[in-house]
Amino acid sequence: MTAHPLFDISGRTALVTGSSRGIGLALARGLAEAGCTVVLNGRDGDRIARAAAELPGDLVHTAVFDVTDGPSVAAGIAEVEERVGPLDILVNNAGMQLRAPLLEFTDSDWHRVLDTNLTSAFLTGREAARRMTGRGHGKIVNVCSLQSEVVRPGIAPYAAAKGALKMLTKGMCADWGPYGVQVNGLGPGYIETELTRPLVEDAEFSAWVRGRTPAGRWGRTEDLVGALLFLASPAADFVTGQVLYVDGGMTSVL
């Protein structure tokens, strides 16, 4: 039996920001396995080249730029379109976390968290959408978080950025929907990556995550792939402005 044609995204071109490791790399691998031409992104050329070598097929490209820097984003996306081809899919995945009590949070750390998790999606989204709206189609997926909905002590700036990213997703949907561009969020729960390593290694916290999650375990990066492929596919052509949480049920229970 073959897959339903509504889920066929082979031949599309996708850029995944922050895909040198972790969730971004898993999402890029999923897109490549679905037959997309994939562009990996990050700030470190060597790390990106190593990540690209891990992916299947010969349809993998790299683009080194910092998603928080407007001119670099504009130049990077222009160069990708020229070298690889028109972007059909943009996944705004790059992100970072700083954990500290809010009273101790410095101005520069606040700006780093907001720039990387929120402003980046505006910069890359705007550059991609300038092209996608002109062509009349495109899919943008913003990687939000369960912390777009709920928060814990020590993570307020990150939650503020991810909550705002949810609303930016809805705003992009409103502005670009009339031009055939669908914009949705993908909201991971607690997923084991470099970003969460200190939490995974904290036995008490790690047990709390398992106990608090109806699925009873931490998420794996591969858990997110199916939801992304759906949001990137024609099956989701009438789905826009939504956040799809892939969190083992955590945001649904007290």
**Residues annotated as part of the active site:** 158
Residues 59-98 that bind ligand NDP (CB under 6 A): 66-68, 93-96
Q: Is 29 in the site for ligand NDP (CB under 6 A)?
A: no
Vertex 223 angle, CA 148 and 212, to 5°: 55
Three-class DSSP category at 100: coil
Q: Is 212 in the site for ligand NDP (CB under 6 A)?
A: no
Structure tokens at 190: 């607690």
Name the residue among 119, 194, 184 with its Cα closest to residue 157.
119
The span from the CA of 196 to the CA of 87, in Å, is: 30
Task: Name the residue nearer to ligand NDP (CB basis): 114 or 195.
Answer: 195
How many binding residues for ligand NDP (CB under 6 A)?
31
- Cβ neighbour number for residue 1 with a 10 Å cutoff: 3
Among 15, 24, 80, 125, binds ligand NDP (CB under 6 A): 24
Task: Name the residue nearer to ligand NDP (CB basis): 33 or 192.
Answer: 192
Phi/psi zone of residue 85: left (φ > 0), alpha (ψ -120 to 50 degrees), beta? Answer: left
Using an 8 Å Cβ cutoff, are 143 and 93 in contact? Answer: yes
Q: Is 176 in the site for ligand NDP (CB under 6 A)?
A: no
Q: Is 42 in the site for ligand NDP (CB under 6 A)?
A: yes
Contact range with ligand NDP by CB under 6 A, out of 31-39, 168-176, 193-201, 228-236: 193-201
Question: 156-176 vs 107-114: helix axis angle to the nearest 10?
Answer: 40
Among 116, 233, 240, 242, binds ligand NDP (CB under 6 A): 116
Residues 221-250 that bind ligand NDP (CB under 6 A): none
Q: Which residues are at the interface with ligand NDP (CB under 6 A)?
A: 17-24, 41-44, 47, 66-68, 93-96, 116-117, 143, 145, 188, 190-191, 193-196
